[in-house]
A and B are shown apart, each in its own frame.
Chain A
Amino acid sequence: GAGVSQSPSNKVTEKGKDVELRCDPISGHTALYWYRQSLGQGLEFLIYFQGNSAPDKSGLPSDRFSAERTGGSVSTLTIQRTQQEDSAVYLCASSLGGTSGMVKFFGPGTRLTVL
């Protein structure tokens, strides 16, 4: 497929466990973004990658959240010691870059439920 893909599509975990969420951007897209959408809330920016570096991590809510990107492609968002308030849909998006953050292509998201 030519779109942004994310895995898993759904993840249920117990409070205190670590989770890893994966994003495969569109081939050739240098910019990659993570957002999350909690129930009844708007999308909230988490982190922006340009290539493998993350010039803007300002949206990560705590030091339990981290993300990396390797080879200018796949990105992994890791949440350590998950809490119930981490339950949300985590969305990844990619773009060619230089678009002031405007994205046309979001992935389908990973729905995370922390019990």
Chain B
Amino acid sequence: RKEVEQDPGPFNVPEGATVAFNCTYSNSASQSFFWYRQDCRKEPKLLMSVYSSGNEDGRFTAQLNRASQYISLLIRDSKLSDSATYLCVVNPGQGAQKLVFGQGTRLTINP
């Protein structure tokens, strides 16, 4: 079983739609959680950290459920520029200074 699992998609949605991605992680000791986005043939960029209380950054909302070991990302009013691969990322805890990446969910926003 992969340490971080995501639905690979692809998700194809019309501009303006709301889209949600889910992710699960297997290591209950995991401490920090993030979403990154990666454009085609580019390096990943940090989108947002994810907190237990849930957090929002503009059109993006992230949620964490530690009991279910589940992370989500919601994008509202999607734009063409949101087309990218979204990576669910976890720090495995216990002092580890590294990130474990999911394989990513590919999103295409259609005009």
Cα of A56 to Cα of B43 in the assembled complex, Å: 22
Q: Mark the stretch among B56-64, B76-84, B92-100 that contacts chain A.
A: B92-100
* A28 CB–B CB distance under 8 Å: no
Query: Min CB distance, A55 to chain B, in Å?
Result: 7
* Residues B91 and A108 in contact, CB atoms below 8 Å apart: no
* Residues A102 and B100 in contact, CB atoms below 8 Å apart: no
* Residues A45 and B43 in contact, CB atoms below 8 Å apart: no
Known: A55-B97, A106-B44. A101 touches B91 (CB 8 A): yes
Chain B interface size, under 10 / 10 to 19 / 20 to 34 / 35 or more: 20 to 34
With a cutoff of 8 Å between Cβ atoms, the chain B residues found around residue A33 in the complex are 97-98
* B46 CB–A CB distance under 8 Å: yes
B28-75 residues with Cβ-Cβ distance < 8 A to A are: 31-32, 34, 42-46, 49
Residue count of chain A within 8 Å CB distance of chain B: 25
The answer, among B49, B96, B104, for a CB contact under 8 Å with A101, is B96
With a cutoff of 8 Å between Cβ atoms, the chain B residues found around residue A109 in the complex are 43
Binary contact track A94-115/B, C-beta < 8 Å → 1, others 0: 0000011111101111000000
* Residues A56 and B42 in contact, CB atoms below 8 Å apart: no
Cα of A104 to Cα of B45 in the assembled complex, Å: 6
With a cutoff of 8 Å between Cβ atoms, the chain B residues found around residue A104 in the complex are 45-46
* Residues B44 and A100 in contact, CB atoms below 8 Å apart: no
* Residues A100 and B31 in contact, CB atoms below 8 Å apart: yes
Query: Min CB distance, B42 to chain A, in Å?
Result: 7
Q: List 21 interface pairs A-B (beta carbons < 8 Å), by A numbering.
A: A40-B103, A41-B103, A42-B4, A42-B101, A43-B101, A44-B101, A45-B99, A56-B96, A59-B98, A91-B43, A99-B97, A100-B32, A100-B96, A101-B96, A101-B97, A101-B98, A102-B32, A102-B34, A102-B91, A103-B46, A106-B45
Considering the complex of A and B, which 4 residue pairs feature the smallest CB-CB distances, nearest first?
Answer: A106-B43, A43-B101, A42-B103, A42-B101
**Partner-A contacts on B (CB < 8 A):** 4, 31-32, 34, 42-46, 49, 87, 91, 96-104
